[in-house]
Chain A
Amino acid sequence: MKTFAYFTSIFVCLVACSADKKPGNSPYFADDATLTVSGQFLDKDEKPLAARNIVLKNLRRFAYFDPTLTYFKESLNWFAHLAFPMFPSYELSYDSQKAKPNYFIKNVVTANDGSFRFQMRADQTMRDSEGGINITLVNDGEGKSASYAKYNFVIKAATSTLDPIHLCSLGDVFQEGSDSLNWTWTTPTYSLDHYEFRFADAQDNSLLWTSRLDATENSLKLPKAIFRAQSVRYAVEIFYHFEDQKQLSCLTPSQVFSITQAKSNLAQGKLAQAENIKFKITSLSNDRFNDESYFAAYDSRWIILDLLEETSIGSIHVHNLQFADSVSDTLTIEGAHLSSPNQFESLGLDAVKAERFASYNLPTPSSWARIRISSLSVFDNLQEITIQAGSN
């Protein structure tokens, strides 16, 4: 009972000092008003989805963020995870995210008819700069990345009854080629903004890659070497136009594929060095995509990967690159030969646009013993570098 009284008192304290009343896109609500959000999740056959974990998030800004960007303000790093998770159950888990500021989050499980209902006090919610109470609902599936849908909206009334939310489907077809992995789909007829493909290790859900595509695209081609010879989980988030430029998205159920004929990652096991870092770097080439981060501690603006021998290179791929500042959003990738290991030459990849996940094809495949990746911006994070030989 003491524990109950203790936490009840804490609750009273928080509620007493946490009113956030600026009306705007959402109407005024009394502090003690109860806000209710209810709806129903359906599968692709429009049958109820029972016993699914549904997460409700209320954040200070609308839950739309481009995770392909390389530069986030520090305060937005967690937001990208929380409001825009690669896979809802992935990345530090909700538990650790929930200790961060600027969130309100609740979890429920759908009933047998697929229905769910959230209730909260009005003064528990946060409003954005326009007075809107932004809500993001995520159907977290069975809690292990089998996610099904994400739904964003602004509360307009004390009781919000949503239309039934259908299972998200793109109808994409996957094919494995000799050098690449390929997806094709039919462009939906409704008003699209863009697609985002997300890939993770199916074993531990560590993030391998994301690709953002414009609404006009209907295919995706990725070099094989960016994935290990392993099971890969992927899902597609489809973004629609919704409510005055704000966006509604749905996330397809994640699928797993295995690569039957792997393409070598030529960087695997190779050592790297970086500006201001004295030890030999193994984290960029160890095939682990969930290493602890440390680049931010060293103010590094260049990284050199030693391939040890002249190696024919077709494309170079950077995984999860983030900058600590916004001095530059470009990378320059150069090569050096074994005979002159410190004389770096252009690969035809000068001042290329930096993206969080990016594949850079050499204009002409050529052989190099060392690769230097540099920027005017300081690296805040870089998880892995992969290299593919060949003719793409």
Chain B
Amino acid sequence: MEACLHLESNFKHLKIFLIGFFIFACNNEEDKKDTSIAIEDKVFDITISSSRPSSYNYNDPTATIGSTDSDGETRILLAIPQILNLYREDIILSSIANIEIHIITSSVDINPENIELSFIDKSWTPYASWNSRFSLAEGQEWSNPGGDIMDLESVSPSIEKAPDGSQQKKLIFNITKTLVEAVSQQTEIQGFLLRAKSDPNNADNTLKVFTSNYSGSYAPKAVLSFNKSEVIE
């Protein structure tokens, strides 16, 4: 075990998680090979709305995305989490099995094909709005109000029950393929845009989600899992 505690690496975050993993694995002899390598990181978000084109909201613990007659359309910008910066290291990239964004909702009354996570290559600040990447200064407007989406295929979620046994649902966006392809083309992704499209097949055109301001485990997060065999070879 001493070797476990004297690792030297550039990858500080990954190292901490992996050391924890291996210490845990060693302590549990029976399950020593039954634990996959997975790490999580919080995803920070802000809410933007067409009804408030020049203002932003990053304080509420929940946000209702989608469209209503009174409030127009609301979307969420999600900044790429720091842990995903690791993907720029080739050796890390080759060992990544899955990159997922997990978002908790109170219910899903929208046909999941109408829930889309898109990719953004322009940076924004915590003061971004529907019209601007930085609402406090001129000349930073989005080319397309509501966020400039990259020409990459959007991802719709799979849905699971929330792990705590509550009535909440977990939206799982598997972005592995798109992110790995983007990296291979040296395209830098700055974040994601979550939106709910109106459609006759929806029971409701809005979706209430927990934001990064929620203090509990329902806040959005990124989950990375690694190929154990490739990491150790």
Which residues of chain B have C-beta atoms less than 8 A from A100's C-beta?
36
Whether a CB of chain B sits under 8 angstroms from the CB of A96 is yes
B227 touches A17 (CB 8 A): no
**Count of B interface residues, CB-CB < 8 Å:** 57
Interface mask (A82-116 → B, CB under 8 Å = 1, otherwise 0)? 00000000000001111111111110000000000
Interface mask (B204-233 → A, CB under 8 Å = 1, otherwise 0)? 100000000000000000000111111111
Contact A2 B8, CB 8 Å, known A17-B26, A101-B34, A104-B229? yes
Which residues of chain A have C-beta atoms less than 8 A from B110's C-beta?
279
Closest 9 pairs (CB-CB, A-B): A99-B97, A17-B26, A278-B203, A294-B159, A6-B9, A292-B158, A99-B225, A280-B201, A98-B227
Whether a CB of chain A sits under 8 angstroms from the CB of B70 is no
Whether a CB of chain B sits under 8 angstroms from the CB of A371 is no
Binds A, one of B10-18, B72-80, B140-148, B187-195: B10-18
Whether a CB of chain B sits under 8 angstroms from the CB of A69 is no
Whether a CB of chain A sits under 8 angstroms from the CB of B161 is yes
Which residues of chain A have C-beta atoms less than 8 A from B227's C-beta?
95, 98-99
A10 touches B232 (CB 8 A): yes
Partner pick for A282 among B26, B33, B113, CB 8 A cutoff? B113
A283 touches B113 (CB 8 A): yes
A9 touches B3 (CB 8 A): yes
**Residues of chain B at the chain A interface (Cβ within 8 Å):** 1, 3-4, 6-11, 15, 18, 22, 25-26, 29, 32-38, 89, 91, 96-98, 107-113, 156-161, 169-170, 176, 200-204, 225-233
Whether a CB of chain B sits under 8 angstroms from the CB of A296 is yes
The total of Cβ contacts below 8 Å across the A-B interface reads 140
Partner pick for B22 among A10, A105, A291, A292, CB 8 A cutoff? A10
Whether a CB of chain B sits under 8 angstroms from the CB of A192 is no
Which residues of chain B have C-beta atoms less than 8 A from A173's C-beta?
none
CA separation between A98 and B111, bound complex, in Å?
A: 31
Indicate the member of A96, A101, A278, A279 with the most B CB atoms within 10 Å: A279
Contact A281 B157, CB 8 Å, known A7-B91, A9-B4, A10-B22? no
Whether a CB of chain B sits under 8 angstroms from the CB of A354 is no
CA separation between A133 and B113, bound complex, in Å?
A: 44
Output the least CB separation between A298 and chain B (Å). 8
Given contacts A5-B7, A14-B22, A279-B110, list 4 more A-B pairs with CB under 8 A. A6-B8, A6-B10, A95-B97, A103-B229
A-B CB contact pairs (8 Å), 22 listed? A3-B10, A5-B9, A6-B9, A7-B231, A9-B7, A9-B8, A13-B26, A14-B22, A14-B232, A16-B1, A98-B228, A99-B97, A99-B225, A271-B201, A279-B109, A279-B203, A280-B200, A280-B203, A294-B158, A296-B159, A296-B161, A297-B169
Which residues of chain B have C-beta atoms less than 8 A from A106's C-beta?
229
Partner pick for A296 among B34, B160, B232, CB 8 A cutoff? B160
CA separation between A126 and B32, bound complex, in Å?
A: 10
Interface mask (A1-44 → B, CB under 8 Å = 1, otherwise 0)? 01101110111111111101000000000000000000000000
Interface mask (A284-297 → B, CB under 8 Å = 1, otherwise 0)? 00000001111011
Which residues of chain A have C-beta atoms less than 8 A from B91's C-beta?
3, 7
CA separation between A5 and B26, bound complex, in Å?
A: 20
Which residues of chain B have C-beta atoms less than 8 A from A292's C-beta?
112, 156-159
B158 touches A5 (CB 8 A): no
Partner pick for B232 among A7, A97, A101, A294, CB 8 A cutoff? A7
Which residues of chain B have C-beta atoms less than 8 A from A126's C-beta?
33
Which residues of chain A have C-beta atoms less than 8 A from B228's C-beta?
14, 98-99, 103
CA separation between A3 and B92, bound complex, in Å?
A: 10
Output the least CB separation between B169 and chain A (Å). 5
B15 touches A6 (CB 8 A): yes
A96 touches B10 (CB 8 A): no
Interface mask (A241-285 → B, CB under 8 Å = 1, otherwise 0)? 000000000000000000000000000000100000011111100
Which residues of chain B have C-beta atoms less than 8 A from A7's C-beta?
91, 231-233
B3 touches A6 (CB 8 A): no
B97 touches A6 (CB 8 A): no
Which residues of chain A have C-beta atoms less than 8 A from B161's C-beta?
296-297
B32 touches A278 (CB 8 A): no
Which residues of chain B have C-beta atoms less than 8 A from A281's C-beta?
111
A99 touches B38 (CB 8 A): yes
Output the least CB separation between A356 and chain B (Å). 19
Which residues of chain A have C-beta atoms less than 8 A from B113's C-beta?
282-283, 291
Partner pick for B98 among A2, A99, A296, CB 8 A cutoff? A99
